[in-house]
Amino acid sequence: MTKILILGATSPIARALALRFASDGARLYLAARDGDEARRVAEDVSVRAGVTALSGTFDASDFASHDEFIRHAAGRLGGLDGVVVCFGTLGDEDAAQTDPGAALATIHQNFTGAVSLITLAARHLEQQLSGFIIVIGSVAGERGRARNYVYGSAKGALAIFAQGLRGRLAASGVHVMTVKLGTVDTRMTWGREGAILTISPAKAADLIYAAYRRRAEVVYTPWFWRFIMGAIRLIPESRFKRLSF
């Protein structure tokens, strides 16, 4: 039985992924900042998949608590075979562009908190010479845009971190997959641009799970974002900085 820790388990994509893993027989520990909601998600997954899903809490910005949290989760699961990193927030971009505190809060929730938790989980997986880490990021990290560069910079840094980690762990039998999400229909993206390219959380979870099963390394979700972002990267900086999209 595969033992999986899902971080940010109350997000719509994480909920859908949890059900897919559970339906495939995995034992899950679902963790989020809101412990009550994490417990409700675990109960729902347990009923629908016919397995027992555990739940707990963590704070991405409370770095001192991360080591004990990873140890506790692995202990409750009876081991640890995989970690899925689903948490993050758009934050208040307007405030983050002028307030260092707001900027750092966005960075901690999207990058440094993930780095801390992934590093601790990776150490555990590396020691046992097996396992996987799925890092769910965003196409926003492909290039800095004036309207969301604080969030985008955190997601871009996370992708680079995952890329380096993938290389370091390759010889240890630990697989690292980076997911670059396009626009998904969630509360976090409601009312924002790009609705014509939006997919549902359930569809995103299906695509991510299929990529995990085939051991993909970097996957754009949906696939067409690979070509969209490839075209965007080719735009000269002198022109790109004047674009409003």
151 annotated active-site: yes
Nearest partner of 101 among 144, 134, 67, 150, judged by Cα: 150
- Both tokens of 243, joined, read 């674009």
First to last CA, the chain: 45
Q: Quick one: residue 191, left, alpha or beta (phi over 0 = left, psi -120 to 50 = alpha)?
A: left
- Both tokens of 131, joined, read 């396992």
Given the residues 151, 209, 212, 220, select the one marked as catalytic: 151
- Both tokens of 176, joined, read 């690292």
**Cα separation, 30 vs 175, whole angstroms:** 21
Given a contact cutoff of 8 angstroms between Cβ atoms, the answer to whether 86 and 31 are in contact is no
Active site residues: 151
